[in-house]
């Protein structure tokens, strides 16, 4: 059989369960003992596999790239004499990780085999009803998990139901001033309450600030006969486009 | 009669979800119905003195616990205490656990239902939740909390031990 | 041995939803455990040639169909009890089984991946693992353990029955 890397890879694609699995595969292909792992060639082969996976448009998990960068860092350290100790440490760590992983794979295979064997026997599947109703509540082994799962479901459902709020565009000082200018281009007198009739609080505040500004620079005169009584606004100056632009510039 | 033949039939009846007919057994084993019927009759007699009996029900055969041992089985099931909560009750309990203290209206709103009062009563009877004061809003509705028994049953030391949504990979917002 | 005593135990094991321990039977019948153990051993031998066998699982006894009748029972049921788990899930389960209790970070590190939360969730849904408290370190991460159902589905009586590495053929260094 032809074992060019690409062909080999395509055979293996479904099989890799993570970076350690791929690494272990490469070590075995070299017929090396894990403890003899040569970092430089393994790094290159590993990178070649990742590249090939990308070429095949496989969705490669970030985990593979993390390992690739670790390997590259190790390779770099191996070339720098004063990093020798650090390199050896990393290499030992990787060897330990691979050896442990190899054991896990063996254990997983054994468990799977046992399960397959066990699955050949069937339990009694009919559930007989011999029970009294008033029984106490008991929580199964997975109680806490069920609790958080149920809560997660509620939260997810609420998220899905949450209306998308379209926030009303907030008023700008510019909008409010434009409105005041429009009113006083036509009228000499206006009641403050009519200007802000059915407007929300933000608008009222902006309008009041605008009025104060216009009073300050002599364009309006304000009269109020009593506390909380009607504020009457009277035009004194000019309300044209130029003036409006000038005032807006001041607020910006 | 071939012992293994009888044993195969025994296995089939035992594992079936519902009473198993002689014809169906005959089809599976690719033998004559009469042969199966004889084996079933023998099995039925074999099981007479035992803990389970072979019953003829709804046109088929099924193993059921022998009636005379019901009292003992009941005793066992009582010690099981394995009453499970309905989905709705579990969900309600989860909401109280994570959002306590809160009112029944708040729970209803989260579950998107009109009322949870029956479930709340049930959970109170099971001593999983309790009333823990009233909320300071109009109508002063009652507030619910989980009980120490809830913690004990779920093997938690404190409410802080409840797994967070992030821990199971769900985003809260 | 009293025939009815054996038949009662037979009925209890048959009627139970999960493997039933000798201790529990002894408690229900209010007799000595030893007596129950003897009866169970006899039952176990009695059932050897039959359609179902008595299996010792998760610290108890349970009737299951004898393995040799698998092809016939499968023909009737269409599907067996095999869990459809990925290799990654089997590896994760093996790590939990052999190293329990441990945190998800510890599992991730052993598998050389960033996260195993989806797999842990799946294993919990299948009731193969469970949350068993929190580790007393910063962040108090959750600890995972296998469940009795894991033992049951993997044909183990206790965690001590997990295959050893020598058995698997790997040298534990």
Does the pLDDT at position A7 exceed 60? no
Tell me chain C's radius of gyration from C-alpha atoms.
19
- Tokens standing for B50? 């035992």
Neighbours of B30 (CB within 10 A): 7
Residues B95, B77: Cα–Cα separation, whole Å: 30
Pairwise CB contact (< 8 Å): A107 & C131 = no
Range A139-177 burial, b when 16+ CB lie within 10 A, else e: bebbbbbbbbbbbbebbeeeeeeeeeeeeeeebebbebb
Q: Is B15–A124 a contact, with Cβ atoms under 8 angstroms apart?
A: yes
Residue A3 has pLDDT above 50, yes or no: no
Closest in B15, B90, B164 to A125, CB measured: B15
CA distance B65 to chain C (A): 6
CB C19 within 8 A of CB A118: no
- Output the CA torsion A175→A180→A185→A187 (10° steps): 150
R_g over Cα of chain B: 26
Residue B130 buriedness (CB in 10 A; 0-12 / 13-18 / 19+):
middle
Residue-wise over C50-60: b if at least 16 C-beta within 10 A, else e? bbbbbbbbbbb
Residue in chain A closest to C87 (alpha carbons) equals: A17
Q: Which chains touch C (3 or more CB pairs under 8 A)?
A: A, B
Which of C17, C76, C80 has the highest number of chain B CBs within 10 A, making it the mutation to test binding with B? C76
Q: How far is B163 from chain C (nearest CA, A)?
A: 8
pLDDT tens string C113-157: 988 988 999 999 999 999 988 898 988 899 999 999 999 999 999
Scan for tokens 């093996």, then name that residue.
Answer: C94
User: Which residues in C lie closer than 8 A to residue A145 (C-beta atoms)?
Assistant: 124, 130-131
| Tokens at A55, concatenated | 């070429």
Give the residue from B142, B114, B112, B111 showing the smallest Cα distance to B129: B142
Interchain CB distance below 8 Å, A152 and B168: yes
Q: Under DSSP, is residue A13 helix (H, G, I), strand (E, B) or coil?
A: helix
Give the C-alpha separation, C120 to A145, whole Å. Answer: 11
Is B72 within 8 Å of B61 (Cβ atoms)?
no
Which range among A154-168, A202-216, C42-56 shows the weakest confidence by mean pLDDT?
A154-168
Contact indicator for A49, A5 with CB cutoff of 8 Å:
yes
| Stronger pLDDT, C73 or B87, i.e. the higher one | C73
Subunits next to B (3 or more Cβ pairs <8 Å) are A, C
The partner residue sitting opposite B76, judged by closest CB among C16, C69, C121, is C16
> Which residues of A fall within a CB distance of 8 Å from B82?
135, 138, 140
- pLDDT at position A118: 93
- Indicate yes or no: CB of C7 within 8 angstroms of CB of B49: yes
Find tokens 């059932």 and name the residue.
C47
Task: Give the integer Cα–Cα distance in Å for B155 and C133.
Answer: 8
Q: Is the pLDDT of residue A149 over 70?
A: yes
As a whole number, mean pLDDT of residues A166-180 equals 74
Look-up of token digits 């599992």: C107
For residues A27 and A105, is the Cβ–Cβ distance under 8 A? no
- The 3-state DSSP class for residue A189 equals strand
Q: Can you tell me which residue has the tokens 């269409």?
A: C78
Q: DSSP assignment, residue A191?
A: E
Return the partners of chain A (3 or more C-beta pairs < 8 Å).
B, C
CATH fold for domain B3-74: Arc Repressor Mutant, subunit A (1.10.10)
Q: How many residues does chain B have?
A: 173
Instruction: Give the separation between CA A124 and CA C64, rounded to whole angstroms.
Output: 7
Partners of residue C15 on adjacent β-strands = none
| Chain C closest-CA separation from residue A80 CA (Å) | 26
pLDDT for the residue numbered A4: 47
User: What is the average pLDDT across A146-157?
Assistant: 87
Question: Is 90 exceeded by the pLDDT of residue A167?
Answer: no
Q: For residues C100 and C147, is the Cβ–Cβ distance under 8 A?
A: no
Which of A134, A148, A157, A163 is best to mutate for the B interface (most B CBs within 10 A)?
Answer: A148
Identify any residues that bridge with B145 across adjacent strands, giving them in sequence order: B130
* Structure-token pair, residue A100: 């442990």
| pTM assigned to the model | 0.71
Do residues B125 and B110 make contact, with C-beta atoms less than 8 angstroms apart?
Answer: no
Contact A135 B15 (CB under 8 A): no
**In chain B, domain spans:** 3-74, 87-161
Q: Output the average pLDDT for chain B.
A: 90
Q: What is the pLDDT of residue A174?
A: 81
Q: Do C66 and B9 touch (CB under 8 A)?
A: no
* CA–CA dist A20, C110 (Å, integer): 9
Exposure string over A218-248, b if 16+ CB within 10 A, otherwise e: ebbeeeeeeeeeebebebeeebeeeebeebb
**So what's the ipTM on this one?**
0.78
Residue C94's nearest CA partner among C169, C162, C173, C172 is: C162
pLDDT value of residue A2: 39
Q: Which two tokens stand for residue C72?
A: 């016939």
Q: What is the mean pLDDT of chain A?
A: 82
Average pLDDT over residues C11-34: 94
Structure confidence by residue, pLDDT tens digits, B98-126? 999 999 999 999 998 888 999 999 999 88
DSSP B128: S
| Binary contact (B11, C133; C-beta < 8 A) | no
* Ordered alpha helix ranges (H), C78-125: 87-99, 104-111, 117-125
CA distances to A9, A42, A49, A108, C2 from A55, in Å: 12, 20, 10, 31, 74
CB contact under 8 A, B77 and A153: no
Q: How many Å lie between the alpha carbon of A133 and the closest alpha carbon of chain B?
A: 9
- What's the pLDDT at A97? 94
Say if residues C55 and A123 touch (Cβ distance below 8 Å): no
The single residue listed with the structure tokens 């821990």 is B167
* Identical fold, C3-74 and C87-161: yes
Fold entry, domain B87-161: Arc Repressor Mutant, subunit A (1.10.10)
* Chain A positions in Cβ-Cβ contact with residue B16 (cut-off 8 Å): 125-126
């Amino acid at each position: 059989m032809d074992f060019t890397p690409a062909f080999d890879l395509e055979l293996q694609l479904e099989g890799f369960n993570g970076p350690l699995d791929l690494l272990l595969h490469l070590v075995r292909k070299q017929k090396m003992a894990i403890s003899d792992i040569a970092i430089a060639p393994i790094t290159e082969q590993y990178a070649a596999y990742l590249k090939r996976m990308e070429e095949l448009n496989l969705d490669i998990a970030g985990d593979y790239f993390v390992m690739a960068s670790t390997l590259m860092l190790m390779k770099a350290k191996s070339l720098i004499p004063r990093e020798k100790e650090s390199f050896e440490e990393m290499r030992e760590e990787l060897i330990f990780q691979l050896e442990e992983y190899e054991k896990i794979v063996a254990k997983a295979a054994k468990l799977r085999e046992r399960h397959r064997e066990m699955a050949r026997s069937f339990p009694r599947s009919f559930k007989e009803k011999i029970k009294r109703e008033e029984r106490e509540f008991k929580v199964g082994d997975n109680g806490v998990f069920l609790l958080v799962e149920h809560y997660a479901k509620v939260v997810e459902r609420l998220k899905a139901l949450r209306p998308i709020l379209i926030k009303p565009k907030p008023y700008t000082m510019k909008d409010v001033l434009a409105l005041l200018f429009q009113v006083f281009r036509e009228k000499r007198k206006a009641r403050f309450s009519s200007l802000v009739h059915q407007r929300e609080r933000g608008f009222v505040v902006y309008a009041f600030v605008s009025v104060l500004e216009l009073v300050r620079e002599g364009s309006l005169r304000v009269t109020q006969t009593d506390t909380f009584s009607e504020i009457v606004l009277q035009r004194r100056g000019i309300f044209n486009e130029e003036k409006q632009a000038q005032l807006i510039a001041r607020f910006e | 009669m071939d012992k293994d033949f009888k044993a195969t039939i025994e296995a089939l009846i035992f594992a079936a979800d519902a009473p198993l007919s002689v014809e169906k057994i005959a089809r599976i084993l690719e033998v004559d119905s009469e042969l199966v019927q004889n084996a079933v009759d023998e099995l039925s007699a074999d099981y007479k003195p035992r803990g389970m009996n072979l019953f003829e029900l709804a046109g088929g055969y099924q193993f059921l616990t022998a009636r005379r041992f019901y009292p003992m089985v009941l005793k066992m099931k009582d010690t099981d205490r394995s009453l499970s909560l309905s989905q709705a009750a579990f969900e309600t309990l989860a909401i109280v656990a994570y959002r306590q203290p809160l009112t029944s209206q708040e729970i209803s709103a989260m579950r998107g239902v009109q009322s949870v009062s029956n479930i709340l009563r049930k959970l109170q009877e099971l001593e999983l939740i309790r009333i823990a004061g009233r909320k300071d809003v109009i109508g002063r509705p009652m507030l619910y909390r989980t009980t120490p028994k809830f913690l004990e049953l779920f093997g938690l030391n404190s409410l802080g031990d409840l797994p967070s949504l992030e821990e199971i990979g769900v985003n809260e917002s």
